[in-house]
């Protein structure tokens, strides 16, 4: 069980990253009377200037308000944030959070459905102070131990890799909807795992039981695996799921909260795999979908199972992910073409986005609007980069910045690197400006100076 720790290896992180030039021979420098020091740092902009032989990237901690990383064993391709009772919009350190994730292990029997509690998360300023004080012989080892980040994991065996996890609150239940690679969509009650990560006594009993994950409900009607799934933010327990054969099913909760009625008539206007689904944050019966067929569609479950609106060539290749703005009529999309597009739903039928950005050099793997600032969003790509954007920024003064920065769009706030094969990211809805991302190399939890 690994706790989140500060990064100690050379990394590529950014708003402003430092690139260490290759060390020169010190003796030669002295003989030549050169005044420049070895290791002079430069600003590194991904995709603008490639690294040269002997150059490496180092993290600039001053660009972060908080940064931690952790491992959960087998990689998690998907996770979701579990809301807690610690309050909204919190910023004061130390922070804590609850996450639910599912693994993609080497064998079906090795997979786990995980609830994790990260706590005692301090900011980078605290870490810097501790590093400075560590040289003082009077430092108390116990105090240093108390200041380390902590993590508890409550894991249950799950047969089959977990493609996607989404969590909702339904009364006293914390429910996780899980898309399994075995072609099942399952619903799990997370309460036993949540109790375990919040109590050492409950954790001891939980570990002793060592039960396999048993779903409250399971649906095999898709007949194939899928990735797209989303809980309604307006109707507790309402769910929508989409598969790799293009079919979408809407789930309606039955009284009691332990079973669902699923319409066997699929929503099927797409002609290829459905990659992502998002309920409208304001209209209880409306949801959006995106597909390998390059289209984005808007649906109303009160109408016949055909989409109301569509952008048939939204991207030039697969549309992988979408995110619906909570406060504005905007939909964000990311595709295999590496493009990020912002759609005004009032002009959706025109087929033209109101904004398009090409900063990533590989397919987009995740996008999400900030839950706190409606003009801010984040995206991740297969180029191992996480980008932060602010659409409210129209221009910036770059007269004193490096020439390479002029090539960046003014709306781009921050570029974060260091993870390998970033799969999914989420803003924490209750912690100001905090992003969590999962990759084959593990989780990152961070807040930049930009948000």
Check residue 400 and give its pLDDT. Answer: 43
**pLDDT of amino acid 32:** 44
pLDDT > 90: what percent of the chain? 73
Residue 204, classed as helix, strand or coil, is: helix
Alpha-carbon distance 21 to 18, whole Å? 9
Q: Are 64 and 447 in contact (CB under 8 A)?
A: yes
Separation CA 365–CA 439 (nearest Å): 10
266 pLDDT above the threshold of 60 = yes
Residue 352 has pLDDT above 60, yes or no: yes
3-class SS of residue 349:
helix
Least confident of 180-189, 199-208, 391-400: 391-400
Q: Which residues of 387-414 are buried (b: 16+ CB within 10 A; e: fewer)?
A: bbbbbeeeeeeeeeeeeeeeebeebbbb
pLDDT for 405 equals 58
Residues 177-195 pLDDT 10s = 999 999 999 999 999 999 9
Nearest partner of 242 among 215, 261, 269, judged by Cα: 269
Q: What is the pLDDT of residue 69?
A: 96
C-alpha distances in Å from residue 38, one per residue of 30, 122, 124, 205, 264: 11, 33, 27, 57, 68
Mean pLDDT, range 346-371, rounded to an integer: 96
By CB atoms closer than 10 A (0-12, 13-18, 19+), residue 242 is buried
* Statement: residue 451 has pLDDT above 90: yes
Q: What is the pLDDT of residues 120-166, one digit of tens each?
A: 999 998 554 555 555 454 455 555 667 799 999 999 999 999 999 99
Buried/exposed 72-104: b ≥16 CB within 10 Å, e otherwise:
bebbbbbbbbbbbeeeeeeeeeebbbbbbbbbb
Sequence-ordered list of residues with C-beta below 8 angstroms from that of 284, at least 6 positions apart, any chain = 232, 234, 235, 238
Q: Are 430 and 86 in contact (CB under 8 A)?
A: yes
Q: Residues 94-123: what's their mean pLDDT?
A: 97
Mean pLDDT score, 211-230: 94
Q: Compare 46 and 220 and report the one with higher pLDDT.
A: 220
pLDDT tens, 18-72?
Answer: 333 334 444 444 444 444 444 566 777 776 777 778 878 888 999 999 999 999 9
| CA dist list (Å): 289 to 145, 244, 249, 292, 354 | 47, 13, 12, 11, 19
Return the closest-CA partner of residue 229 out of 161, 180, 194: 180
Higher pLDDT pick, 140 / 423: 423
Span 242-246, average pLDDT: 98
Mean pLDDT (whole number) for 247-270: 93
C-alpha distance from residue 208 to each of 93, 195, 202 (Å): 33, 14, 10
Average pLDDT over residues 99-104: 98
DSSP state of 174: E
**Quick one: how many helices (H) and strands (E) in the chain?**
5, 31
List phi, psi (to 5°) of 297: -130, 150
| DSSP strands (E only) in 382-448 | 385-390, 412-417, 422-427, 435-439, 442-448
Q: Which of 252, 232, 228, 254 is nearest to 241 (CA)?
A: 228
Among 150-164, 278-292, 299-313, 399-413, the least confident range: 399-413
Residue 212's pLDDT band (boundaries 50, 70, 90)? Answer: confident
Q: What pLDDT is recorded for position 29?
A: 40
pLDDT at 445: 98
- Cβ–Cβ under 8 Å, residues 133 and 139: yes
The pLDDT value given to residue 403 = 53
pLDDT band, residue 16 (cuts 50/70/90): very low
Q: Is pLDDT of 401 > 70?
A: no
The pLDDT confidence band at residue 4, using thresholds 50, 70 and 90, is very low
Indicate whether 230 pLDDT > 70: yes
Can you give the pLDDT at residue 141?
Answer: 57
Q: Mean pLDDT score of the chain, rounded to an integer?
A: 87
Per residue in 371-385, pLDDT (tens digit) is: 999 999 999 999 999
Q: Strand order of the sheet with strand 226-231?
A: 226-231, 239-243, 248-253, 260-262
Q: For position 24, what pLDDT does the model report?
A: 41
């Amino acid at each position: 069980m690994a706790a989140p720790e500060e990064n100690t290896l050379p990394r590529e992180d950014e708003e402003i990253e430092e690139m260490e030039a290759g060390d020169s021979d010190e003796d030669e420098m002295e003989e030549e009377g050169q005044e420049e020091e070895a290791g002079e740092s430069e600003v590194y902009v991904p995709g603008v200037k490639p690294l040269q032989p002997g150059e490496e990237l180092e993290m600039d901690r001053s660009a972060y308000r908080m940064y931690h990383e952790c491992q959960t064993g087998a990689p998690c391709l998907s996770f979701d944030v579990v809301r807690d009772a610690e309050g909204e919009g919190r910023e004061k350190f130390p922070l804590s959070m609850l996450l639910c994730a599912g693994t993609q292990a080497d064998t079906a029997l090795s997979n786990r459905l995980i609830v994790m509690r990260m706590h005692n998360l301090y900011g980078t300023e605290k870490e810097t102070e501790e590093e400075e004080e560590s040289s003082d012989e009077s430092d108390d080892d116990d105090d240093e131990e108390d200041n380390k980040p902590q993590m508890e994991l409550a894991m249950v065996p799950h047969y089959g890799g977990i493609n996607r996890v989404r969590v909702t609150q339904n009364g006293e239940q914390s429910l996780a909807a899980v898309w399994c690679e075995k072609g099942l969509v399952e619903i799990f009650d997370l309460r036993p795992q949540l109790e375990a990560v919040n109590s050492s006594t409950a954790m001891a009993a939980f570990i002793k039981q060592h039960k396999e994950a048993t779903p409250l409900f399971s649906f095999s009607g898709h007949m194939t695996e899928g990735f797209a799934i989303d809980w309604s933010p307006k109707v507790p327990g309402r769910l929508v799921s989409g598969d790799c054969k293009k079919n979408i099913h809407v789930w309606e909760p039955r009284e009691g909260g332990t079973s669902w009625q699923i319409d066997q008539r699929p929503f099927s206007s797409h002609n290829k795999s459905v990659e992502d689904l998002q309920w409208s944050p304001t209209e209880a019966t409306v949801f959006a979908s995106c597909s390998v067929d390059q289209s984005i569609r808007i649906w109303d479950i009160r109408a016949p199972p055909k989409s109301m609106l569509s952008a048939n060539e939204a991207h030039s290749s697969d549309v992988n992910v979408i995110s619906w703005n909570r406060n504005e009529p905007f939909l964000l999309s990311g595709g295999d073409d590496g493009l990020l597009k912002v759609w005004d739903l009032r002009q959706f039928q025109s087929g033209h986005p109101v904004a398009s950005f090409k900063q990533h050099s590989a397919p987009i793997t995740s996008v999400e609007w900030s839950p706190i600032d409606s003009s801010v969003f984040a995206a991740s790509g297969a180029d191992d980069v996480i980008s932060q954007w602010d659409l409210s920024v129209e221009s910036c003064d770059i007269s004193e910045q490096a020439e390479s920065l002029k090539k960046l769009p003014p709306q781009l706030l921050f570029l974060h690197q260091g993870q390998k094969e970033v799969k999914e990211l989420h803003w924490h809805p209750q912690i100001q400006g905090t992003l969590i991302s999962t990759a084959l190399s593990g989780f990152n939890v961070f807040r930049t100076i930009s948000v």
